[in-house]
Amino acid sequence: AQSVTQPDIHITVSEGASLELRCNYSYGATPYLFWYVQSPGQGLQLLLKYFSGDTLVQGIKGFEAEFKRSQSSFNLRKPSVHWSDAAEYFCAVGARFGNEKLTFGTGTRLTIIP
């Protein structure tokens, strides 16, 4: 069965600073990987996804993530955060081959300080 670990429950970053959110997954084959963002009181928005090919994936809002098979990781990065990035971020792994469903991590809450 697949699983996702987001080791950081809460991260605080100064506006303009760089950001890295960690995600580790467990899956028996090459996974589908996703990052979603949830602003307070809102639904889920897809930031980016990895299916195959280039291991560095660009997403919306200036985010990127890098798939590292050897480390079973898919960390999310942004070079300079904005106050509007304050939200909760979820990493998810998708099963393949006829059993397609998403398994989510427990999330990382991001606080931005001026």
Partner 1 sequence: DADVTQTPRNRITKTGKRIMLECSQTKGHDRMYWYRQDPGLGLRLIYYSFDVKDINKGEISDGYSVSRQAQAKFSLSLESAIPNQTALYFCATSDSSLDSTYFGPGTRLLVL
**Amino acid letter at 1?**
A
Instruction: Give the nearer residue to partner 1 in terms of CB position, either 44 or 86.
Output: 44
Please give the full DSSP string across 47-98, using - where no structure is assigned.
EEEE-SS-SEEE-GGG-EEEEEGGGTEEEEEESS--GGG-EEEEEEEE--TT
Least CB distance to partner 1 at residue 96 (A): 8
Q: With 0-12 CB in 10 A as exposed, 13-18 as middle and 19+ as buried, what is 21?
A: buried
**Closest approach of Cβ 49 to partner 1, in Å?**
8
Of 30 and 80, the one with the shorter C-beta distance to partner 1 is 30
Closer CB to partner 1, 13 or 92, in the complex: 92
Q: Is 82 helix (H, G, I), strand (E, B) or coil?
A: coil
Please say which residue, 73 or 103, places its beta carbon nearer to partner 1: 103
* Shortest Å, Cβ 8 to partner 1: 13
CB of 14 to partner 1, least distance (A): 25
Return d(Cα 104, Cα 53) in angstroms, integer: 22
Q: Contact positions toward partner 1, by CB under 8 A?
A: 6, 9, 32, 34, 43-44, 46, 49, 51, 90, 92, 94, 96, 100-107
